[in-house]
Amino acid sequence: MKKSGILNRHLSGALARLGHTDLVMVCDAGLPIPDGPAVVDLSFRSGVPSFAEVLDGLLDELEVEGATAAREVRGANSAASGLLERRFTELELVPHEELKARTREARLVVRTGETKPYANVLLRCGVPF
């Protein structure tokens, strides 16, 4: 049994299958998830687990070379906006509708219990060397 890191077997296994340039959408409880990507739904109750908690756990385990979020996060969710700006030096901002469309290209979607608006980010996997 794993003793540290991500313990959820579905999420841990899905992360192990990712490669360079694969996309991972970390989303709030309300983002529509299209058919196609693998989905690990971590939502339990409203706000649990939070977007910040899940994002930080993923960033501890993934090499990320880029991130994209909805432009609207800046005006609608200062906590998520601040978190994203602290975690990513180069954050691409696109219209929310475009971010939702890009979700179809994700290899994995990780759904949180977050219920504050626009708490979504598309991560592009990198390599650690």
Give the pLDDT confidence of 64-73 residue by residue, as tens digits.
999 999 999 9
pLDDT band at 1 (very low <50, low <70, confident <90, very high): confident
Spatial separation of the C-alpha atoms in residues 47 and 40, rounded to whole Å: 16
Mean pLDDT of 71-82: 98
Is 28 flagged in the annotation as binding?
A: yes
Domain 20-125 has CATH 3.40.50.300: no
Mean pLDDT of 76-97: 97
pTM: 0.96
pLDDT band at 112 (very low <50, low <70, confident <90, very high): very high
Q: Clarify whether 10 is annotated catalytic.
A: no
Is 96 flagged in the annotation as binding?
A: yes
Tell me, rounded to whole angstroms, the distance of Cα 82 from its chain centroid: 15
Reply yes or no on whether the pLDDT at 51 is more than 90: yes
pLDDT digit string, tens, across residues 10-45: 999 999 999 999 999 999 999 999 999 999 999 999
Catalytic annotation, pick one of 7, 20, 44, 56 = 20
DSSP of 34-83? -SSSEEEE---BTTBS-HHHHHHHHHHH--EEEEEEETTHHHH-HHHHHH
Residue with tokens 């602290």: 86
pLDDT band at 5 (very low <50, low <70, confident <90, very high): very high
Is 118 flagged in the annotation as binding?
A: yes
Residues of the chain above pLDDT 90, percent = 98
